A and B are shown apart, each in its own frame.
Chain A
Amino acid sequence: MKDCRCLKKCMRGAGNNKVMSDRFRRLFFIGFSVSVLFTAGCSTSSVFNSYTTIMNPLIDGLKARKFDHALKVLDKHRKSNDKILYLLERGRIAQIKGDIEVSMEDYEATMEAVRHRDEKAIISASDIGAQTSTFLTNDNTIPYKGEGYEKVFLHQFQAFNYLAKKDIEGAGVEVRRANLEQHVALEMHEKEVRKAEEKAREKRIETEQASASLNAAYHHMDDIAGKVKNSFQNAYTFYLSGIVYELLNLPNDAYIDYKKAIEIFPDNTYLQRDVIRMAKALGMNQELNEYASRYAAIRAEVENGGGDTNTGELIVFFENGFVPQKREIKVPIPTPNGFLAVAFPVYTAKWPDVEPLALSEPERKDVLGETEPLCYVQALAVKSLKEKVPGMIVRHLLRSAAKTAFQYQAKDSVGVAGTILSSLYNVISEKADLRSWLTLPRDVQIMRNHLSAGIHHLHLEHKASGAFSDVDISMNQNGKTILRVIRTGSVLYTTAITF
């Protein structure tokens, strides 16, 4: 706000030196419009102030078990343009804290906001307003809609809230919603990508050079993006949905979701065991033979195991770390006035090694095993950004045209001072869109094991970060116990739900 006033004053000062009153009026108009834009920027947070600078102090708090400050800060954004994003973060933080009621409420509010967005009129006045102001400022003025993979996680995490309240039927509703979200995303997404590519092709001559310089900058993201087929289907969601269906005593539905999960992530041995076990139990002989020949070692193990009947199943979900954040790079884009440095978002984080969580039971001198990866959220995020590139380039070209026109207008009406101010404005307003759900895990791993009924004292150890924790769980005979472990920094947050 300080900057706004100062700028306005400067412009007024410049105007006073020239006596001509119509120039003064024009100047005042520009000063006014700039200050209005600034005020808009100040109130809707991430337009001039990048989203990551708002979130990072709060994320640091999570690594030190400090939640309340973050919840309070995020609560202020409940009505902002980006409320979907802030509420996603808030729901997740409340969930890590273990405050199920708050988390449920926030996720519910997010769903309502997403739904409100989806059901908006096709030609909406407020959307046109946002689209117009993006031409004079940056992509951050477009209200945050939520990426496909984020909406899937929203329903999945809400399902965890229902499970924590032992409402399996409610969890069933949420996993079905998550599956529908993946299904709809798959259909709509192909159409959208095609449309954006067509639009980019229409403006081919202008975009070609821009794409070339951008592709060079995005090159290192290709490997990571290549690890997933698309940006929203994730095996973690299908796996949880399989477990919920097993709890609801619907083995057929569970088997279908385990099959979808293994299609996305074939290397997970726990998943391989599950499909073989379910195919056998449901008498799907042909599929059982296929899986058995593909995973021969696992088949033998499933055949030999399962002798002890006084056991329950322990299912461990390990949500590891935080998803990488976008950074801003300046890419030179050709314009009629020469090259213009345009800000683009980019993921620079490297692909990490798998960092498993080891579980043991020191009292019984028993090593239970290690978790195996099931979902790389990092790859989903990178892929999602890559898919948006054609649309981003077109918007940037339109924007640079609008900003150049603004520059000319300023030069005509106030001369050199106007040019300086408008270029200054261009530099300040040129900000990449760094928004994304930042409290999501970087990757998710699972473990599944049979344990005898009764109380178990488990020791969890994460070698890569040095985090460890002890947790007591209880097992019911023929029951299932879900142990969810979330790592933030070197702290492990654990929740155990026994069914």
Chain B
Amino acid sequence: MYGLKKLIWSLCIAMGAGCATNVKYEDATKVETTTADFGSTDLQQIANKMVDSLLSFPAIVQTTNERSPVVFVETIKNKTLEHIDTESITDSIRTKILRSGKFRFVDMTKVNAAKKQFEFQNESGTVDQATAAAFGRHIGAEYMLYGNFASIVKKSDNVKDVYYKFTLNLMELETGIIEWADEKEIRKISERSLFGW
């Protein structure tokens, strides 16, 4: 009798476990092909290609050997057929470049927040003026990083063909000359399976 009860209990537990949603950790850089839409692998491929290309470009290597220029990142125009967070792509690129130590960055999206803190430190009267950050000491950016993200999608009954092109440019602000540019192309095809539910 006891054995039977135990068996029923263990069966119940086994079935319960079988029905529960299965969650597991995966390598974040593992190739992801759930759908043909823009995904983590595309983002990583774009970021890696752009950073490698920029840091190995002869003119840039020469400049960055002498000093670490200051750069600001303009938004990437999303011209694709998907709602893609392009800021997330530029964040990845900026982080990688920054960690190489070759460039320094200013963040234009945080100007207002920083300004508020400045005002608090200098005008509120609560902060010791000896420790307050002084106005007018920001370093002006020398370069601007900007680009475009476009796609071409073709669909037929059974096949969907997606082509992405990510272009990134580095412009010297004073002269307006584009010092470096590169593009990353990605093409994915998804086909409907023959049999299924």
Contact = CB atoms under 8 A, between A and B. Distances in A.
Contacts of B157: 188, 191
Contacts of A187: 156
A173 B82 contact: yes
A144 to B, nearest CB: 18
A126 B156 CA distance: 22
B81 A180 contact: yes
Contacts, number: 49
A176 interface: yes
B192 interface: yes
A119 B192 contact: yes
A309 B195 CA distance: 63
Given A121-B193, A121-B197, A173 B78 contact: yes
A176 B153 CA distance: 10
Interface size class of B (residues with CB under 8 A): 20 to 34
A17 to B, nearest CB: 44
B81 A176 contact: yes
Contacts of B83: 170, 173
A364 to B, nearest CB: 38
B196 interface: yes
Interface string A123-141: 1111000000000000000
B194 A121 contact: yes
Contacts of A172: 78-79
A184 B155 contact: yes
B158 A122 contact: yes
A169 B77 contact: yes
A44 to B, nearest CB: 17
Contact of B155 (A120, A121, A180): A180
Contacts of B160: 119
A453 B157 CA distance: 49
Contact of A122 (B79, B190, B192, B197): B192
A177 interface: yes
Contact of A173 (B80, B156, B190, B193): B80
Interface string B15-51: 0000000000000000000010000000000000000
Given A122-B193, A170-B83, A188-B157, 18 more contacts: A119-B160, A120-B196, A121-B194, A121-B196, A122-B158, A122-B192, A122-B194, A123-B194, A124-B196, A172-B78, A173-B78, A173-B81, A173-B82, A173-B83, A177-B81, A180-B81, A184-B155, A187-B156
Interface of A: 119-126, 169-170, 172-173, 176-177, 180, 184, 187-188, 191
8 contacts: A119-B190, A121-B192, A123-B194, A125-B195, A172-B79, A176-B79, A176-B80, A180-B81
